[in-house]
Structure formats: structure tokens, C-alpha cells
């Protein structure tokens, strides 16, 4: 049984209803296009189900010094940058690009509290574009570990994405691995870590949220 994320339930129900109605209409009208349409529409429906799937992802080794991947996808950036929205200092940045076939659930990489949350409207450049982190529609969330160490995560909408869903509220507490958001139809998540973080991924590596460790924090 496929678990569907709450953001996708209306899409799946509407898609199934549309598919059934279209198939019934073509069948009872004896249309010559019945099978081609049923096959194409069926594939489209399965793609919707695949996009909104939310597979169970228990943390393999709970440890708040381990920064687990907050999303599924490919590592497209590992570099030191100046983070100018919140930290205003150099940070280690790791970016995960999610294509439309990836799981699009975003998860907290360690336990703590939300110390900052801010939505920014913007453009819809391709999510892999270097300027997308600063110019696209995006949502910034800063999470604080119990000892005060903070990590910034930025959900970035892509060319196909038109809605960032975020459940992080300033002051709320959370557990490692819990959902904090969802981005619809292609996107990326940027993680800004302290300079002392030990990065444990490499460029072009495929990662899974809650499964793969992005970095180790002292």
C-alpha cells in the first residue's frame, strides 16, 4: 500500500475520479480512442501517485550530531558561501536537487526548535540554476539544536514548482526525521552548515531523506 502525503491526497482523488469518468465515457460511447486514452491517462495518474508518495523513513541511527538529508535527490552544490539572510557569515552549503520522480517530502535533519521561518516570493528559474537560491520563490527555515548550534535550510521552487508547502513555525519543537514541508513538481533544498561541519557527501551523489547523512556537527 502506497502512503500518500497529505499535500497530494486531493490530487490523487481528483486524478482517479477524472480517470474513471474519462474511461467510462469512452467505453460507453464505443470510442476508437478508448485504449490509447486509458493507457496514457493511466500513466499520468501513476506519475501523480508516484510524485506524492510518502514512504516511511525511520532514522537508522538517531543522533543530533548527524545531519540527515532533508530531501531525496542529487547533490549539486558543495561549497563555502556567504549566507546573507540570517547568519551573515560564511557557511558550508550543500544543495539537493529533486527531479519530478523523487520523493518531495522535506524532513528535519536533527531534533531541536525552529528559530526563524520566512517565505520569499520570486521567479521560477530551473532549480539547478546558480541564481535560483536567491531569485526563485523560496522558504527559509533555521533550526536550532538544544546546544544552540543552528542550521539553515532553504526550500527553492523550480521551473515546474508553483507551491512551496512549509509547516515550520518559529518557536516550534520537532524531532529528527519529522516532515517540515513539501515542494510540488521539481525543486531543490539548500542546507547551510557551520564551517566546522564535516561534510559526508560528494558531488552528484544520490541521497535519500532520513537515510543518508549529509554532515557531522560537533
Catalytic residue numbers read: 187
State how far the Cα of 70 lies from the Cα of 29, in Å rounded to an integer: 48
Number of H helices and number of E strands within the chain? 3, 14
- Please give the full DSSP string across 65-134, using - where no structure is assigned: TEEE-SSSEEEEEEEEEEETTTT-EEEEEEEEEE-TTS--EEE-SSSEEEEEEEEE--B---TTSTTHHH
C-alpha cell at 129: 540554476
Amino acid at each position: 500500500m502506497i502512503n500518500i502525503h497529505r499535500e497530494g491526497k486531493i490530487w490523487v482523488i481528483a486524478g482517479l475520479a477524472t480517470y474513471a469518468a474519462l474511461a467510462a465515457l469512452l467505453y460507453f460511447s464505443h470510442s476508437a480512442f478508448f485504449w490509447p486514452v486509458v493507457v496514457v491517462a493511466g500513466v499520468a495518474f501513476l506519475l501523480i501517485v508516484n510524485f506524492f508518495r510518502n514512504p516511511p523513513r525511520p532514522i537508522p541511527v538517531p543522533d543530533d550530531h548527524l545531519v540527515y538529508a532533508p530531501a531525496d535527490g542529487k547533490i549539486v552544490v558543495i561549497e563555502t558561501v556567504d549566507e546573507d539572510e540570517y547568519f551573515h557569515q560564511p557557511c558550508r552549503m550543500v544543495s539537493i536537487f529533486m527531479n519530478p520522480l523523487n520523493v518531495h517530502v522535506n524532513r528535519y535533519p536533527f531534533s531541536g526548535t525552529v528559530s526563524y521561518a520566512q517565505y520569499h516570493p520570486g521567479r521560477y528559474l530551473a532549480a539547478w540554476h546558480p541564481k535560483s537560491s536567491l531569485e526563485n520563490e523560496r522558504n527559509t527555515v533555521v533550526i536550532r539544536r538544544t546546544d544552540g548550534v543552528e542550521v539553515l535550510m532553504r526550500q527553492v521552487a523550480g521551473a515546474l514548482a508553483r507551491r512551496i508547502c512549509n509547516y515550520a513555525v518559529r518557536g516550534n519543537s520537532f524531532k529528527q526525521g519529522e516532515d517540515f514541508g513539501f515542494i510540488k513538481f521539481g525543486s531543490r533544498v539548500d542546507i547551510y552548515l557551520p564551517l566546522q561541519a564535516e561534510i559526508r557527501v560528494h558531488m552528484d551523489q544520490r541521497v535519500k531523506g532520513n537515510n543518508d547523512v549529509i554532515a557531522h556537527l560537533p
